[in-house]
Amino acid sequence: MPITVMNLVATKEKRRRLKDMNCGKQVVKIVVCVVLLALSAGSAFAAENGMGFYILGQRGQGAGVLPPEGVFFSMPTYYYSGDASNSEELPFNGTLDVGVDAELFIVMPTAIWVTPLDVFGGDLAFSGTYVYGNADLSADAAVAIPPVIEASVDLQDDRWVAGDPAFSALIGWHGENQHYLVAASVNVPANVPASDYDDGRLANVALNRWAQDITVSGTWIFPQDNIELSSATGITFNGKNDDTDYRTGTEFHLEASFFYQFTPTFSAGINGYHYQQLTGDSGQGAELGNFKGRVSAVGPGLSGTFQIGPIPVSVSLRYFHEFNEKNRLEGDAGWLTVTIPLWVPGQNQ
């Protein structure tokens, strides 16, 4: 067919329409992405919903010490308040901004059984933890592609829910002034009746994924100086959340503490932790890519022991202020842990 001016004009107009159609499809995708980001409140940050199976700061003073043979009950209570924001450049000189504010209050009643069994020269123990708490989250997402579109979504969710149960196997070794502990823990996904996971809700305590954590801890005591040093380091391996098609990357965590023993029943010191994501997130649910998270924290701690009748009660209080954040919530965290023995050999003798 001969090339004419009309052919050229028609071809140019067709290309312009195709370009407009493609631009329109991209805009629709971006608007949908805004809604999905606000609904998930986690696709723009490392680790799904900015949460991991291993809750940072849980091991402080005495991290490497396993109790003696017996059955114990521990009640860790965790509070966290933090926020995060993320901005991405989009095609056509556009921007996508996402923000999350979160408050968590979680109680984790835990039963610990230290058996009389000897494994590799250490004491074998098992523990089971039930998780229940309040999650109060708000998320906002805004997209701007001048002069094509400007849109925003703001969501908020607040509820008390059950989380995933967790189970651990532990082996502890004891020396005169040093103690070592290895803990292997597993998070059972929320498709069990004990959990309240809902992929349609913003506020979830449950993770709805298998996760395994291996942590090695040590405690070193210097009685002549009334000083105790403790450290714990571990790696968390995450499975995929089948409901959101989101797989959180492998995570590394490091905790350390320095405490001074003022009296035989009271001590005070400083705690800290560092979190680093080793591999990126993946899956279709990771809307904006394979982010890797990072955060550090430091803060004071207190611990003491007192008697309620014949029962010794151990109490520890820790506070952390976070900094050095990347692709992660940043805020303040607090731990209050109370531990009592339920049964030890010979306690009634």
Q: What phi, psi does 13 have (nearest 5°)?
A: -65, -40
pLDDT at 287: 63
Please tell me the distance from the alpha carbon of residue 14 to that of residue 7, in angstroms, as a whole number: 10
Distance (Å) of CA 159 to CA 134, 198, 209: 6, 11, 20
What number does CATH give the domain 5-343? 2.40.128
Please tell me the distance from the alpha carbon of residue 283 to that of residue 38, in angstroms, as a whole number: 18
pLDDT at 312: 94
Please tell me the distance from the alpha carbon of residue 343 to that of residue 168, in angstroms, as a whole number: 20
- Locus of tokens 């995060």: 84
pLDDT digits (tens, 9 = 90+) for 8-48: 333 344 444 444 444 444 444 444 444 444 444 455 567 77
Q: What is the mean pLDDT of the chain?
A: 84
pLDDT at 10: 39
Report how far Cα 15 is from the mean position of its chain's Cα atoms. 49
pLDDT at 40: 46
Distance from the first to the final alpha carbon of the chain: 107
pLDDT at 192: 53
DSSP state of 250: P
pLDDT at 328: 86
pLDDT at 31: 47
pLDDT at 84: 82
pTM summary value:
0.85
pLDDT at 1: 42
111 forms beta bridges with: 73, 128
pLDDT at 121: 97
Closest residue by Cα to residue 281 from 321, 238, 322 = 238
108: CB partners within 8 A, 6+ apart: 75, 76, 77, 78, 129, 130, 131, 132
Low-confidence ranges of the chain (pLDDT < 70): 1-45, 88-93, 96, 148, 190-195, 286-289, 348-349
Q: Indicate the helix (H) or strand (E) that contains 102.
A: strand 94-107
Tell me the domain boundaries of the chain: 5-343
